[in-house]
């Protein structure tokens, strides 16, 4: 009996790992599909969405499948790019992003390399397990913040 239970646990764990690798975090997938939201998957199994803003602009948003833990708290990153740079963020832009971060209740600006591009992105690190309404609210907040900054800094609509 113990061997049977152990075999079931091993199969369940292996199946969960394969599922997560093939299609991203199932918790997020269920929520997005349940709301009829369109998404694609990145090569790193993160969720990628193109969100249409109220003024006819579009904004990319990413929901990371990979989560991090601090003690018993599991978090995931939800982020959207707003500014592309080549070497370093210009000082005037960096100061603007820092100033904007201070005004935010959730999230902040960060820089990173993604797909060969250096980006300044707005990110919220939220609980990995969110109610769908909370996930949608965070997505909308991240999109609104990143799109407004992209418009302010470059006037473009390409991220």
Q: Which residue, 111, 102, 107, is CA-closest to 140?
A: 107
pTM tops 0.85: no
- The predicted pLDDT at position 23 comes to 82
Share of the chain above pLDDT 90, in %: 80
3-state secondary structure of 81: strand
Count other Cβ atoms within 10 Å, centred on residue 89: 18
pLDDT at 116: 87
**pLDDT tens, residue by residue, 94-141:** 999 999 999 999 999 999 998 889 999 999 999 999 999 999 999 999
Q: How many residues does the chain have?
A: 159
Predicted pLDDT of residue 22? 59
Phi, psi of 113 (to 5 degrees): -105, 130
Beta-ladder partners of 52: 58
What's the CA gap between 146 and 107, in Å, rounded? 11
Cβ pair 39, 24 in contact under 8 A: no
Q: What's residue 115's pLDDT?
A: 85
Q: Which residues pair with 83 in a beta bridge?
A: 120
Question: Which residues, at least 6 apart from 41, have a Cβ–Cβ distance to it below 8 Å?
Answer: 23, 24, 47, 48
- Can you tell me the mean pLDDT for 32-44? 96
What whole-number percentage of the chain has pLDDT above 70? 86
The pLDDT tens digits for 8-25 are 444 444 444 444 445 899
* pLDDT over threshold 80, residue 6: no
């Amino acid at each position: 009996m113990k061997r049977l239970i152990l075999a079931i646990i091993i199969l369940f764990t292996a199946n969960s790992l394969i599922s997560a690798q093939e299609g991203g975090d199932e918790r997020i997938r269920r929520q997005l599909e349940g709301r009829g939201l369109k998404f694609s998957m990145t090569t790193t199994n993160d969720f990628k969405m193109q969100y249409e803003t109220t003024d006819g602009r579009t904004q990319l948003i990413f929901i990371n499948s990979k989560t991090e833990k601090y003690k018993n708290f599991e978090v995931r990153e939800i982020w959207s790019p707003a500014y592309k740079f080549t070497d370093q963020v210009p000082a005037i832009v960096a100061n603007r992003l820092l100033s904007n971060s201070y005004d935010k209740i959730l999230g902040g600006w960060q820089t990173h390399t993604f797909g060969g591009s250096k980006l300044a992105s707005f990110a919220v690190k939220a609980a990995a397990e969110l109610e769908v309404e909370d996930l949608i609210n965070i997505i909308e907040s991240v999109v609104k913040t990143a799109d407004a900054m992209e418009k302010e800094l470059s006037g473009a609509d390409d991220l």
